[in-house]
Structure 1
């Protein structure tokens, strides 16, 4: 879902080292037993991905463990900002410099890459049969599996649990209660909701949290109807969603200067007590605790939409790793994915990044915030919206929402929605997005 230049990676490394201490001896022994089965020729696998410093330290640890087991194989990772990743990876394929391994967004994004023959078919991998069905499906195109899903994330409201308890604040159960909560927090002198739209990808998060309850809970076929030309952004709950998004700003519930605030800064605001809440994914839990190890963070679903039904949560596979079909090291790349799929390695990643499992046989210890929102996830979810949209649609959403929030009334909701409709229509059957 995202990657950033995070905060305090050394603390993450210390935490991961503690997790590794019990298993390092076994990994060393396994590496000694398997070294003789590897090729004596040194191989370097190059990977380009968007999972940044939230995942970077634990990825480094996994790569080190992999290298201990396969001493002739090294892995070099290049991180790209999530809102630039799509253009970067396209240009690599055009220039003939595709990496051996690459980040693959779940859902529709991978279709043109698979159809163009850029991705290796991984359907026969041993780990594939262990995946939960929805995780496997989101990485499948034309009946073939083109990437290994790594984890599952969810979007909700991260909140300062200690502040809520000290001031007697309750978890809101309706949208009106949420607005009243924001007003109460504002009166107490704290920023109700931290927001940083300088990083464009953040613009989508609040609408993503709204849409499952506002649209997909009652109309799960909405996207299919969009593709068929029978539904639109303009004539849907998207109008009310954008208006309510802007109303939060008008009421003063965001921090001042949110258009110039970065994601890292909004994380710091919640971690240090300057803000009480943040609508964001669980991937932010690690950076928050790196900034303030004593922070007590909870997570509840955004209560948007009709209150007489359970609220749905935006949740889905977040990270995928694929293999370039033209890599000169296909067997080494497959070994790398197989290593990632091992229960003990995948558990290390999930606990290090505080995320949910995609495997039937991997059950990590859940962070308290994850445990708090898990009942809402069981009640109903819809994937991150871009996973079912045409490739390129998400980039347009970034631009439109940033213009909308910066418009000061000059950029109408009607103009914003019509631009989204136009782009959806242009991209839904156009695979020229992939060169």
Structure 2
């Protein structure tokens, strides 16, 4: 699934919904019985810190200020608990009125099970570009409102790298390893990672896979799903061994399995580590001023061999979907239209939280840290994040298996075999 992402930078989000749904400024509406909408979002880290002030505080408060007859009850859970809780609720015909979910393959299961509201043809979709809606389209029907795109890579401390003579970001895997060795020999922690939460391991693995697995086999994931390909015996073994090498050589700080997201971000922001793997969604948490101010950069983690093309890891971002069983569809659409209206104060706060996702037609990313990466997106091919092509559950098997390997149990072959067993169980669901 290679592509360039010029089209995706032309996103245009919906501004209005069907007449009669949205409240207009200055219009008084009676409030005999306020409607309470339940909204759920993944993102509370395992160390107990709420990492999304927008969802937990600003979103409900500002919606209630705008719509006197609507209340928002929000909840956040760590990713694994979030997924399991949501699937249990939806299968029982319950769940929140609307919630955040992942695109592509991870969306397909919910849509085909009949859990999601079909938004096809609704006025709110008319201003979205086809590229924006692609990740939330299943069998030609649209089931969600996308934020835009996400890109995985490495956040890095520019001043720290320049101090040790590194002014150009590594162009291949060998030069990246050389950078890490230079930093380690100078007594600098090359990389800090919060591996206490399994999903952070994806942020190193998928960028490597983009340049290792898919260039010679762009249909790898399709063949996984139709049963003609397995993880065992594939180039995913190379990816796992490459990433484990960073731990074996001490390039990723020891104790990562006991390190949570907030602790790792603080370590990076205080200038105690040169790099941390993540995505553009980390802008808010990884650009806070720590003990020593410094400039940040964000670039791809290069898994390519010298002379081979660098393939980027870029995919559609998550978005908002609506429960098919909500009894409050007009009110949910009111809230979504308000959030996506560029003139609303809610949209401004939304942009502060998710500002790294271009939202409106002609809108640039507008963030200096992403300029170099965005330039590469115009020239280099990319593949979507691997988990976006897999059934929900395969990525967790991958990452929890890797956690075990870091802890001294198992190896690459054991992880791949476990992924095959999980895929076999989930294939077709």
Task: Please give the range of the TM-score, normalised by the shorter of the 2 chains.
Answer: 0.7 to 0.9
Please list every run of 5 or more consecutive structure 2 residues that lacks an aligned counterpart in the other structure: 1-21, 45-49
Partner of 2:125: 128
Following superposition, the deviation at residue 51 of structure 1 comes to: 4.1
Q: Distance in 2 between matches of 1:250 and 1:343?
A: 48
Partner of 2:14: none
Partner of 1:380: 381
Q: Distance in 1 between matches of 2:51 and 2:287?
A: 11
Q: Distance in 1 between matches of 2:342 and 2:363?
A: 8
Report if aligned partners of 2:147, 2:357 keep a CA contact under 8 Å in 1.
no
- SS of aligned partner of 1:130: coil
Partner of 1:180: 178
Partner of 1:143: 140
Q: CA RMSD in A?
A: 2.4
- SS of aligned partner of 1:235: coil
Following superposition, the deviation at residue 230 of structure 1 comes to: 2.8
Q: TM-score, length-normalised on structure 1?
A: 0.85
**Which region of structure 1 is more displaced relative to structure 2, 299-308 or 287-296?**
287-296
1:224 aligns with 2:216: no
Report if aligned partners of 1:102, 1:321 keep a CA contact under 8 Å in 2.
yes
**Which region of structure 1 is more displaced relative to structure 2, 66-75 or 202-211?**
66-75
Following superposition, the deviation at residue 154 of structure 1 comes to: 1.0
Please list every run of 5 or more consecutive structure 1 residues that lacks an aligned counterpart in the other structure: 1-29
- What pairs with 1:336-375 in structure 2 (closer than 5 Å)? 336-344=335-343, 346=347, 348-357=349-358, 359-361=359-361, 363=363, 366-375=366-375
User: CA deviation digits over 1:311-348, x for unaligned, max 9?
Assistant: 12212222211111111211001111222222355564
Report if aligned partners of 1:154, 1:316 keep a CA contact under 8 Å in 2.
yes
- SS of aligned partner of 1:35: coil
1:158 aligns with 2:155: yes
Q: Distance in 2 between matches of 1:118 and 1:227?
A: 22
Partner of 1:91: 88
**Which region of structure 1 is more displaced relative to structure 2, 76-85 or 60-69?**
60-69
Report if aligned partners of 2:154, 2:277 keep a CA contact under 8 Å in 1.
yes
Q: Distance in 1 between matches of 2:373 and 2:29?
A: 45
Report if aligned partners of 1:315, 1:384 keep a CA contact under 8 Å in 2.
yes
Report if aligned partners of 2:41, 2:76 keep a CA contact under 8 Å in 1.
yes
Following superposition, the deviation at residue 58 of structure 1 comes to: 6.5
1:303 aligns with 2:295: no
- SS of aligned partner of 1:47: strand
Following superposition, the deviation at residue 288 of structure 1 comes to: 2.1
**Which region of structure 1 is more displaced relative to structure 2, 34-43 or 332-341?**
34-43
Q: Distance in 1 between matches of 2:182 and 2:385?
A: 30
Q: TM-score, length-normalised on structure 2?
A: 0.86
Q: Distance in 2 between matches of 1:222 and 1:134?
A: 22
Report if aligned partners of 2:183, 2:190 keep a CA contact under 8 Å in 1.
yes
1:401 aligns with 2:399: no
Partner of 2:244: 246
Following superposition, the deviation at residue 34 of structure 1 comes to: 5.1
Q: Distance in 2 between matches of 1:78 and 1:418?
A: 35
Following superposition, the deviation at residue 168 of structure 1 comes to: 2.2
**Which region of structure 1 is more displaced relative to structure 2, 300-309 or 31-40?**
31-40
Q: Distance in 2 between matches of 1:220 and 1:184?
A: 34
Distance 1:105 1:145, change over 3 A: same
Q: Distance in 1 between matches of 2:32 and 2:307?
A: 64
Q: Distance in 1 between matches of 2:71 and 2:398?
A: 38
Report if aligned partners of 1:109, 1:387 keep a CA contact under 8 Å in 2.
yes
User: CA deviation digits over 1:109-166, x for unaligned, max 9?
Assistant: 2222222222111112333233232331111112111111123221111100121233
1:33 aligns with 2:31: no
Q: Distance in 2 between matches of 1:347 and 1:237?
A: 43
User: CA deviation digits over 1:375-398, x for unaligned, max 9?
Assistant: 222322222211110122222222
Report if aligned partners of 1:130, 1:360 keep a CA contact under 8 Å in 2.
no
Q: Distance in 2 between matches of 1:307 and 1:93?
A: 48
Partner of 1:189: 187
Report if aligned partners of 2:151, 2:313 keep a CA contact under 8 Å in 1.
yes
**227, 251, 262: which one pairs with 1:264?**
262
Report if aligned partners of 1:156, 1:281 keep a CA contact under 8 Å in 2.
yes
Report the structure, 1 or 2, having the larger helix content. 1
Partner of 1:318: 317
Following superposition, the deviation at residue 40 of structure 1 comes to: 5.3
- SS of aligned partner of 1:77: strand
Aligned residue pair count: 398
Partner of 2:38: 46
Distance 1:385 1:260, change over 3 A: same
Q: Distance in 2 between matches of 1:125 and 1:295?
A: 46
The runs of at least 4 consecutive aligned structure 1 residues that moved more than 6 Å come to none
Q: Distance in 2 between matches of 1:245 and 1:309?
A: 18
